[in-house]
Amino acid sequence: MPSRTFYARRRTALITAAAATAALTALTVTPADASPPTPVSASTARAYLSELTVKAEGSSDGYSRDKFPHWITQSGTCNTREVVLKRDGTNVVTDSNCAATSGRWYSEYDGATWTAASDLDIDHVVPLSEAWKSGASSWTTAQRQGFANDLTRPQLIAVTDNVNQSKGDQDPAEWMPSRTAYTCTYLRMWVQVKHYYNLTVDSAEKSAIQSGLSGC
């Protein structure tokens, strides 16, 4: 007959295995309905917008995406893109290199749903070129790297790749998500990021944001 020591060891082994399984699941599967950090409220966004310096957009001379190093390693083998894909998706499973092997993603910009990570881009809500022309040209490379990989502010979001490409470096006076239900959220995100990084807005951009926020 097995001893009490045997049962104690067996129970310990089972608990350890269960803990390991739970830890692995936590690393490879995201909770449902994940999304970027919630942006400030519409009223706060309106207040932030009034504090931004209005200035004609600067030159793109000297701009290069290489001056905004991304995607950097965030933890272990996971870079910023992979972290956002896991955060913004549902039931995302990753391999040992942190690459998403399966999952489901809802693109807030256009309402499309995808099951392949290759169909998604990680959008910089305030584009890198826009940031450059709004003040980032005077930043250090380290500051630009922080901006390009910011997971704390609502600056990064997984969206349909060709939608992100059609947006390019346009501001809200030139481009807005086709899914109008996301208008308020998008503008709140934009203003929060510009305010945090003390970036300027041009007059057309400010007017478009004011108009959009008025309906929020």
pLDDT digits (tens, 9 = 90+) for 47-74: 999 999 999 999 999 999 999 999 999 9
Higher pLDDT, 171 or 28: 171
Which residues touch 141 (CB under 8 Å, ≥6 apart)? 67, 69
pLDDT digits (tens, 9 = 90+) for 181-214: 999 999 999 999 999 999 999 999 999 999 999 9
Q: Sign of torsion, CA 216 44 37 201?
A: positive
- The end-to-end CA distance of the chain, in Å, is 71
At residue 152, φ and ψ (nearest 5 deg) are -85, -45
Looking up tokens 């099951």 gives 115
Could you give the CA distance from residue 148 to residue 67 in angstroms, rounded to a whole number? 10
Question: Around 123, how many Cα atoms within 13 Å sit in the side-chain half-sphere?
Answer: 31
Cα 52 to its chain centre, rounded Å, is 22
DSSP codes of every residue in the chain: ---HHHHHHHHHHHHHHHHHHHHHHHHH-PPTT--SPPPPPHHHHHHHHHHSPB------TT--GGGS--SPEEETTEEHHHHHHHHHEEEEEE-TT--EEEEEEE-TTT--EES-GGGEEEEESS-HHHHHHTTGGGS-HHHHHHHHT-SSSTTEEEEEHHHHHHHTT--TTT---S-GGGHHHHHHHHHHHHHHTT--B-HHHHHHHHHHHTT-
pLDDT digits (tens, 9 = 90+) for 67-112: 999 999 999 999 999 999 999 999 999 999 999 999 999 999 999 9
Predicted pLDDT at 35: 84
pLDDT at 179 over 80: yes
Q: Sign of torsion, CA 171 177 180 184?
A: negative
Which residues touch 168 (CB under 8 Å, ≥6 apart)? 127, 129, 175
pTM of this structure: 0.84
Task: For the chain, give the mean pLDDT.
Answer: 88
% of the chain exceeding 90 in pLDDT: 84
CA distances to 143, 144, 157 from 122, in Å: 19, 17, 5
